[in-house]
Amino acid sequence: MGNHAVMSHERAAAALRDQYAALPPGAPVRLGKTTSNLFRFRDPATRTLDVSEFAGVLSIDAEARTADVGGMTTYEQLVDATLPYGLMPLVVPQLKTITLGGAVAGLGIESTSFRNGLPHESVLEMEILTGDGRIVRLDRDDERFRGFPNSYGTLGYALRLKIELEPVLPYVELRHVKFDDPTDITAIAQRPDVDFLDGTVFGPDEQYLTLGRFVDKPTHRPSDYQGQEIFYKSIRERSADLLTVRDYLWRWDTDWFWCSRAFGVQHPVVRRLWPKRYLRSDVYRKIVALDRRYRITERIGRASGAAAREPVIQDVEIPLDRLAEFLEFFHRDIGISPVWLCPIKLRDRRTWPLYPMDPGTLYVNVGFWATVPLAPGEPAGTHNRMIERVVTELGGHKSLYSESFYSQEDFWRLYNGERYRALKREFDPDGRLPGLYDKCVRGS
């Protein structure tokens, strides 16, 4: 960072530390963020920490291929800053308003994860405001640094991160390949001509892998999925495609994968009338938040006599050799479609203690986001608990950005309770921030 950027950041960090110290003991701590991609909804806080000074790119070193970034910077802001240099983050999570600090303290994935792992693996150093009010700088060789991913703001908040970048070309050429055997992913993931890899499952007999590679010059006019056209529908309609690199990175954001259909936005008439600037995941998420807060859909359903529905909004990592078993269970007992697939292999040979994936294993993230009807007598959480049980039986892991239903015993066994308690004593000995179980399961 330049001297001016360093001084501005240090002033902002000192001011935030003072804000934090001024909070009354026992008062809940909330960040004053305008967006969220979590699906654990809470009532709005009356008092929050102003972290607006930490939303922005501080500097880019094009030669070293690194960026210094505020922890509250969205990936949309970050990509807009790096693409003019012909660079991008090693993993760009699929929604524009995911923040860099959020992706590192939680989990982020995308179609480069089969070769670049998870966002926190490309962090070189970070600065955090700890639960006990200190500002601590950690680098990737510090074991405490390795405990921050998957802590979800229960140990502290990232104020600044230095990350690796990688070079890009202007366009991404796509091929949509229908497949039957999930183990085909292994061979594709080892091909040198594949830069991006993800998949879409429309049903037990219709599943596609999308293979992407950088190209310097377009062979034809690039497609545009930022307006009237819908990306996920194109997977079934064409075997090849071409996008600008920016449009490729945000191909899923315009329709929140396919979830915009719940708001009628995919209907041709509505699509033409809906302002283009509101075709964004954060707009849809705000609509869902309002619906959850005021229980609008629930009240309408109850008044009409419709069956109660359970939100099933999850991302899970399944070892590739167990993926077919998981999908068979999922199609039979859950029945949501489409489903997103995203292969992941950790870059780092060492483990990350709070999300202990095996570095030598190729996993596949399975993402599904919908509601499922409850049969008479079935309690809320029935399907989510079933998914949690099967994921554990298959040696997988579940991301904690949405609702979870684990017992304390199971939770701490799966998410390394012993190491977490040691980290909590190090960063937040007085428990000013909620604990991981309280935040992710109890919704504190």
Domain boundaries, the chain: 3-168
Looking at residue 18, its amino acid is: D
User: Are the C-beta atoms of 268 and 276 separated by less than 8 Å?
Assistant: no
pLDDT the model gives residue 44: 60
Query: d(Cα 194, Cα 199) in Å, to the nearest integer?
Result: 14
Residues 287-308, mean pLDDT to the nearest whole number: 81
Position 41 confidence tier, pLDDT thresholds 50, 70, 90? low
Q: Which pair of tokens denotes residue 186?
A: 């292994």
Tell me the CATH architecture of domain 3-168: 2-Layer Sandwich (3.30)
Half-sphere exposure of residue 143, counting CA atoms within 13 Å on the CB side? 6
Q: Are strands 66-70 and 87-89 parallel, antiparallel or unpaired?
A: unpaired
pTM for this entry: 0.95
Average pLDDT score over the chain: 93
pLDDT the model gives residue 39: 63
Top mean pLDDT of 217-221, 299-303, 393-397 is at 393-397
Q: Which pair of tokens denotes residue 348?
A: 């780092």
Residues 145-155, mean pLDDT to the nearest whole number: 95
End-to-end CA distance of the chain: 37
Res 388 pLDDT > 90: yes
CB neighbourhood size of 391 (10 A): 21
Looking at residue 19, its amino acid is: Q
Position 30 confidence tier, pLDDT thresholds 50, 70, 90? confident
Residues 301-327, mean pLDDT to the nearest whole number: 92
Res 34 pLDDT > 80: no
Each residue of 331-348: pLDDT tens digit?
Answer: 999 999 999 999 999 998
Residues 358-363, mean pLDDT to the nearest whole number: 95
Position 309 confidence tier, pLDDT thresholds 50, 70, 90? very high
Query: d(Cα 210, Cα 174) in Å, to the nearest integer?
Result: 7
Res 46 pLDDT > 60: no
Question: Three-state DSSP class for 363?
Answer: strand
